[in-house]
Amino acid sequence: MSAAQPDAIRKQHYEAAKLAKRLRHQVGQAVADFNMIEGGDKVMVCLSGGKDSYTLLDILLSLQAKAPVRFELIAVNLDQKQPGFPEHVLPEYLTARGVPFHIIEQDTYSTVTRVIPEGKTMCSLCSRLRRGALYHWAAANGITKIALGHHRDDILGTFFLNLFYQAQLKAMPPKLRSDDGRHVVIRPLAYCKEADIAEYAEARAFPIIPCNLCGSQENLQRKAVKRMMEDWEKTQPGRAENIFRALGNVSPSQLADRNLFDFAALGAREGVARAEAHQWLAGSPEEP
């Protein structure tokens, strides 16, 4: 071993510790900012076997040990019966970590492959079926919070997809109530960059299960947005972070959504604004 090797190893350990500390701080900050976890919560961590959900579980476990409130964590995976899915990987990992877990077995794979034409992306339908199965289990088992592994770049990517292709200013909120009102969904990785998560997952040597077993691919729109954001990171560092911060710094009166701000009520005289608005619809406003 050369003299330089011990220094290199020490530097590697130092950088890994610094990254872990940064991710723990970001998750802790997101949890505090959005009151994601409260005393007595039973939190279901949705574990897919990918880098994001492994990192989510790992950091929540470290925070749980030092949190000012007591809460439960249970890892839940949906075995969708894709051919070749390594069923042993997650149970062995979670057992070794001493983490309570449950595997839901539901053959959504057959449904997706029957409904979606060959060659088309399966991700959208697969996601809906997976969400339904997880919500159903959560309702039946006293879960108070459902934790998902979406990170900052997922939130930004969804924002741009909605902006470019749906004409909506909408993203993934760090915390939300499900459409049926029965579940509270949290995204503790909301402040974390995907690149940091990938580096952390590699350093922790998580047994990653790839999400390509069904042969589906990301749609072209999402891939284009991801390339755009990766280019920004190379040429305009900090741009994505500023845009993400803007999602939490919204001025409704400076946009154009009449449902968020009563533009029609802005007038020097009572009633003038609404009357003139109707005149504009009919033609030019009358002379004063």
What residue segments make up the domains of the chain, in order of their start? 4-250, 252-288
State which CATH number among 3.40.50.1820, 3.30.365.10, 3.40.50.620, 3.30.2310.20 fits the domain covering 4-250: 3.40.50.620
Tell me the C-alpha distance between 49 and 209, whole Å: 5
214 is in an annotated binding site: yes
pLDDT band at 286 (very low <50, low <70, confident <90, very high): low
Please give the residue that has the higher pLDDT: either 284 or 14: 14
Percent of the chain with pLDDT over 90: 66
pTM here?
0.86
Q: How confident is the model at residue 275, as a pLDDT? A: 64
Q: Which residues contact 134 (CB under 8 A, 6 or more apart)?
A: 44, 46, 76, 78, 104, 146
Other CB atoms within 10 Å distance of the CB of residue 223: 12
126 is in an annotated binding site: yes
Are residues 177 and 183 in contact, defined by beta-carbon separation less than 8 angstroms? yes
pLDDT above 70: residue 7: yes
